């Protein structure tokens, strides 16, 4: 059994710090990306989010073999100039602090990747759709490690980065399929019920991802966070709290804040 600590979308939040106080208890610690661009309703400043991101980088540097840092759709415009220029607009992107954040990524590019496999579970920011993997990436493999390797190579050139920039209607794009940093949880469910249905190996692939925030605004701007969404062999955990995954049972439980 591998005991994995998973930290979904950060967006400047510090919930991960308490979870990582006893990092020695876990076989791996995985961050699902989206470190910056905080939500306005959470009153987290960009400066605070940057400082929080620097702490995450330090955690990785001090635990190179244990901590995994994945990239999300909010990270890519800072991470890659090519990706940034695919669009004139990026959600909540900080133009004021763009250069500072870009330099942080440039100085630490070796620390980040798009996908990670732990035993028979694949982790990405937003989940892998069958249609995107087979028809856009042109990956026909059913081997989870090979799929992960192919996805991680997408950051190496313009063609690969363009495949990461595929965005469906559910997220304001015009593409039929969404990439593993952009796929909405509804896209994922649709993919598994249609494109992935006849692709048994894909349908059986275990996935952990975030990206689709499960919150609603209450009175006086109190934010109530919902529960993880689970379907097929996928678990979507963007609920602003850390989770512990048992890779053998594929049971994932939240850590109370």
Per-residue pLDDT tens over the stretch 194-223: 765 567 778 789 999 999 988 654 434 444
Q: What angle do CA 217, 183, 130 make, to 5 degrees?
A: 145
Residue 185's pLDDT band, with cuts at 50, 70 and 90, is confident
pLDDT digits (tens, 9 = 90+) for 78-87: 999 999 999 9
Q: Is 43 exposed, middle or buried (0-12, 13-18, 19+ CB in 10 A)?
A: exposed
pLDDT at 232: 79
Mean confidence (pLDDT) of the chain: 91
Residue 19 corresponds to which tokens in the numbers above?
């979870």
pLDDT digits (tens, 9 = 90+) for 71-117: 999 999 999 999 999 998 899 999 999 999 999 999 999 999 999 99
How far apart CA 220 and CA 119 sit, in angstroms, is 44
What's the CATH number where 28 sits?
3.60.21
| Residue 11: HSE in the Cβ half-sphere, 13 Å Cα cutoff | 24
Q: Is the dihedral of CA 126, 131, 134, 136 positive or negative?
A: negative
Number of structural domains the chain divides into: 1
The whole domain housing 37 covers 3-254
Q: What is the mean pLDDT of residues 152-169?
A: 96
How far apart CA 176 and CA 68 sit, in angstroms, is 30
Q: What is the mean pLDDT of residues 43-53?
A: 97
Q: What is the mean pLDDT of residues 235-243?
A: 94
Beta 229-231 vs 234-236: how paired, if at all?
Answer: antiparallel
Q: Is 224 exposed, middle or buried (0-12, 13-18, 19+ CB in 10 A)?
A: exposed
DSSP assignment of the chain, as one string? --EEEEE---TT--HHHHHGGGGGG-SEEEE-S--S---GGGT--HHHHHHHHHHHHHHHHHTTTTEEEE--TTTHHHH-HHHHTT-S--TT--STTHHHHHHHHHHTGGGEES-EEETTEEE-SS---HHIIIIIS------HHHHHHHHHGGGGSHHHHHHHT--BGGGT--BSS--TTT--HHHHHHHHHTTTTT-HHHHT-EEEE--S--EEE-GGG-EEE---EEETTEEE--SSS-EEEETTTTEEEEPP-
Whether the per-residue pLDDT at 192 is higher than 80: the answer is: no
DSSP assignment of 131-170, as one string? HIIIIIS------HHHHHHHHHGGGGSHHHHHHHT--BGG
């Amino acid at each position: 059994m591998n005991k994995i600590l998973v930290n979904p979308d950060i967006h400047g939040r510090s919930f991960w710090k308490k979870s990582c106080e006893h990092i020695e208890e876990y076989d791996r610690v995985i961050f699902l990306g989206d470190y910056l661009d905080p939500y306005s309703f959470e009153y987290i400043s960009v400066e605070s989010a940057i400082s929080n991101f620097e702490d995450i980088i330090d955690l990785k540097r001090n635990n190179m073999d244990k901590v995994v840092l994945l990239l999300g759709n909010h990270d890519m415009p800072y991470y890659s100039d090519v990706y940034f220029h695919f669009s004139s607009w990026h959600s909540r992107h900080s133009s004021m602090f763009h250069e500072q954040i870009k330099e942080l990524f440039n100085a630490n590019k070796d620390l980040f990747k798009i996908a990670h496999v732990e035993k028979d579970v694949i982790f990405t920011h937003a989940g892998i759709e069958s249609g995107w993997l087979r028809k856009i990436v042109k990956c026909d493999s059913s081997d989870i490690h090979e799929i992960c390797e192919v996805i991680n190579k997408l950051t190496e050139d313009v063609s690969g980065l363009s495949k990461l920039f595929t965005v469906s209607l559910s997220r304001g794009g015009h593409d039929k399929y969404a990439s593993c940093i952009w796929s909405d949880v509804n896209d994922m469910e649709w993919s598994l019920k249609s494109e992935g249905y006849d692709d048994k190996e894909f349908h059986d692939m275990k996935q952990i991802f975030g990206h689709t925030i499960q919150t609603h605004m209450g009175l006086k701007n109190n934010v109530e966070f919902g529960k993880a969404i689970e379907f097929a062999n996928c678990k979507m955990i963007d609920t602003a709290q850390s989770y512990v995954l048992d890779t053998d049972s594929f049971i994932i439980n939240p850590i109370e804040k």
